[in-house]
């Protein structure tokens, strides 16, 4: 985080056009001061977060994970063809807009790319 994120920086005033601290927009659990923060401050912040999480009761934790989830670790990727015109034996991965299940045999299946002379002809 850093000092500017906490306070809005040295240009933070009472004007409507300046950026405020992040705590004016979203709830903050632990403030991590410094610009950049010292390693000791980072360790202290992690310790405080771990203590806070350990004090949470299970239903509250499940409720917050269900309602305010900002990211997911369940990514769905598909294998696409190489965009290069050379002869490459690798594809690229992209995340499609749909979240349909992709079987592992499809995901890890070898995809040969098209060589440049096949693209021209």
Predicted confidence (pLDDT) per residue in 45-76, tens digit:
888 888 887 777 666 556 555 555 444 445 45
The answer to whether 1 touches 22, Cβ cutoff 8 Å, is yes
Span 9-31, pLDDT tens digits: 666 566 666 667 777 777 888 88
pLDDT in tens, 65-117: 555 544 444 545 555 555 555 554 445 444 555 444 555 555 454 444 444 44
Give the integer Cα–Cα distance in Å for 11 and 4: 9
Cα(3)–Cα(97) distance, integer angstroms = 37
pLDDT classification of 41: cutoffs 50, 70, 90: confident
State how far the Cα of 53 lies from the Cα of 49, in Å rounded to an integer. Answer: 6
The beta-strand segments (E) located in the chain are: 78-80, 92-94
Report how far Cα 13 is from the mean position of its chain's Cα atoms. 31
> How many angstroms separate the CA atoms of 89 and 76, rounded?
22
Q: With contact defined as beta carbons under 8 Å apart, do 17 and 33 qualify?
A: no
For residue 64, CA distances in Å to 49, 52, 83 come to 15, 14, 41
What's the pTM? 0.41
């Amino acid at each position: 985080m850093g000092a500017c994120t906490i306070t809005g920086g040295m240009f933070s005033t009472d004007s409507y056009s300046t950026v405020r601290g992040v705590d004016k927009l979203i709830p903050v659990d632990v403030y991590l001061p410094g610009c950049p923060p010292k390693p000791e401050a980072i360790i202290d912040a992690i310790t405080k977060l771990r203590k806070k999480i350990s004090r949470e009761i299970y239903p509250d934790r499940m409720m917050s994970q269900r309602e305010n989830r900002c990211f997911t670790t369940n990514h769905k990727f598909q294998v696409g063809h190489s965009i290069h015109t050379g002869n490459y034996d690798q594809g690229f991965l992209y995340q499609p807009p749909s979240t349909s299940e992709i079987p592992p045999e499809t995901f890890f299946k070898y995809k040969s790319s098209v060589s440049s002379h096949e693209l021209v002809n």
